[in-house]
Homo-oligomer: A and B are copies of this chain.
C-alpha cells in the first residue's frame, strides 16, 4: 500500500511499430504501409508484417497517428446527466450514428453546471474532437450567449463543428447548427387535447423561467388556452423546474392550496411521474379526478399509473439527426436550423372532467 496513486508499478511500454518492423525485418515505413493497407505493398512482405503485428499484439498509438494528421474522428455529446431517460436516448442516437460512420463518441455529463460544461468543451478541443453536440434547454442569459459564441468561434477556428440540440444559437451568424423539437407546438397540441376533452382549468407544472425549452412549452400551453377561448387568468403556471422530486413536491403543495383545476400539463415525463404520485397520495385518482399529460414519452411512460398521455419527441432521432446534419454539408453547416416533428401519444391519463 501507499503507492503513488494512478501510476502503474512497472512502466511497461506499449509495443511500437518499430518493434513490429524489426520482427518482420523491414523498415518502419514499410511496416506502416503494410499496416495501413492503402499503399502498394507486395503480399509477401505484407503478410510478414501483419504476422509480426499479430504476434506482438500491436495496436497503433492513436495519439501519434492523430499528431501526424490521420487521427480518428471523434464526436462528443454533452448532456446534464446520462441517467435522464431523455438525454440517454439522445446520447444513444449520437453514439449510434457516430459508430455507423466509424467515429468515436465521447459522452460528457455536466450535472447542469456551466462551469463543467466549459471544462468539457475545452477538453474536447484539446483532444481534437471534430464535432461537439450540446444537448438540452438552458437559461438563455448573457453568460450563456457569450459562452456559446466562444465555443462556436473556437471550434470553427480549428475546423470542428458545433451543434446545439434543443437550445438556441445566441446569434444566427455564429458557426453553429441547431436541431430541436418544436416545443411550443407540442405543448399546444397536448394542451389542446385536454381542452378538447372539456377541461378548462388546467395548470402547467414545471415552468423554469428563462429556460428556453420550458418557456416555449409554457407559451404553447398559453396559446392553446387562448385558441379555445379560455381566459388567460384561468391558466396557472407553477415554476417548480424539472425532475421527479420537483414535480412531486410542487404537486403536493398545489393540492394543499387548491383543487380548482381538473388537469395538469407537466413540463416533462419525470415531472409527471412525481405529480402522479402526489395526486395518488392526496387520495385523488387519475384520470377520474384529475387528468395529467407529460412531455417526451420516455420509454417507461406507458408503465406509469395510469399509462401517461404525453408528447412523443423522437429523442434518439434527434441525436442521429445532429450528427447526420453536421456531417452533411460543411458549407451549409452555419446558421442552419432544423426542427423535428413531435406528436401526441394518447394513453390513459386523460378523461373528461367530472360533469362535462
Chain A interface residues (CB < 8 Å from chain B): 1, 3, 5-15, 57, 59-67, 71-73, 81-83, 85, 88-89, 91-92, 95-96, 99, 101, 104-109, 116, 122-123, 125-128, 130, 150, 153-154, 156-160, 244, 273, 276-277, 299-300, 302-306, 327, 329-331
Contacts and interface: CB of A to CB of B under 8 A. Distances in A.
A130 B59 CA distance: 15
Given A8-B160, A63-B127, 12 more contacts: A3-B331, A6-B101, A11-B157, A12-B158, A59-B125, A61-B67, A63-B128, A82-B82, A99-B116, A105-B107, A107-B107, A304-B304
Contacts of A150: 57
A60 B63 CA distance: 13
Contacts of A99: 109, 116
A291 B10 CA distance: 55
Contacts of A89: 83
Given A64-B67, A331-B3, A126 B83 contact: no
Given A62-B127, A300-B303, A12 B157 contact: yes
B302 A300 contact: no
Q: Return the 6 tightest CB-CB contacts between A and B, nearest first.
A: A305-B305, A8-B159, A62-B126, A63-B66, A63-B63, A107-B107
Contacts of A72: 123, 126-127
A113 to B, nearest CB: 11
A81 B92 contact: yes
Nearest to A10: B159
26 contacts: A5-B327, A8-B130, A8-B159, A12-B157, A13-B158, A14-B157, A59-B122, A60-B126, A61-B126, A61-B128, A62-B63, A63-B63, A63-B67, A63-B71, A72-B123, A72-B126, A83-B88, A83-B299, A95-B107, A95-B109, A96-B109, A106-B107, A244-B299, A300-B300, A303-B303, A303-B304
